[in-house]
């Protein structure tokens, strides 16, 4: 079996997608690939997340293939340090309302994303978990930034 060219670090998803579609890389894990999957230009091998994608019920979750991989992509909204708690709460409450609208859910699903409308405490817990997990890997593998 030949080697597989995986996506190297990119500044953004568009550059990674362009190289993937051009055949420079062979594996991509980016939500922006979904329109190309629907167009038949790429094939979905696994869903990175905790639920199957409704448009691809036969595509397994990555955790089903590799049980040790338990990761979920996330996006967060941040405010400057010292932002008053009342403003943080208001922003969080309004974003949670928006995240649960049918329109946003439909748009996100088209990009293989799922909004959950969690608040600052949940995001802080995710950040701590990811920092601990990936920090441990960085230390164990002695990784350095180029």
- Residue 130's pLDDT band, with cuts at 50, 70 and 90, is confident
Burial 87-98, CB ≥16 within 10 A → b, else e: eeeeebeebeee
Q: For the residues 101-124, what does the mean pLDDT come to?
A: 83
- Residue 1's pLDDT band, with cuts at 50, 70 and 90, is very low
- Residue 5's pLDDT band, with cuts at 50, 70 and 90, is low
Residue whose pair of structure tokens reads 């309302």 in the numeric block: 97
The dihedral through the CA atoms of 10, 13, 16, 18 has a sign that is: negative
């Amino acid at each position: 079996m030949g080697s597989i060219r995986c996506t190297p670090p990119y500044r953004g998803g568009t550059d990674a997608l362009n190289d993937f579609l051009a055949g420079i890389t062979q594996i991509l894990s980016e939500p922006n690939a979904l329109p190309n999957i629907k167009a038949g230009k790429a094939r979905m091998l696994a869903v990175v997340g905790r639920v199957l994608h409704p448009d691809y019920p036969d595509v397994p979750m990555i955790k089903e293939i590799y049980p040790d991989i338990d990761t979920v992509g996330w996006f967060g909204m941040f405010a400057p340090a010292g932002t008053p708690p009342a403003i943080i709460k208001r922003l969080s409450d309004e974003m949670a309302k928006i995240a649960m609208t049918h329109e946003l859910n439909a748009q996100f699903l088209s990009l293989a994303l799922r909004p959950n409308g969690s608040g600052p405490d949940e995001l802080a817990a995710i950040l701590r978990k990811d920092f601990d997990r990936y920090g441990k890997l960085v230390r164990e593998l002695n990784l350095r930034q180029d």
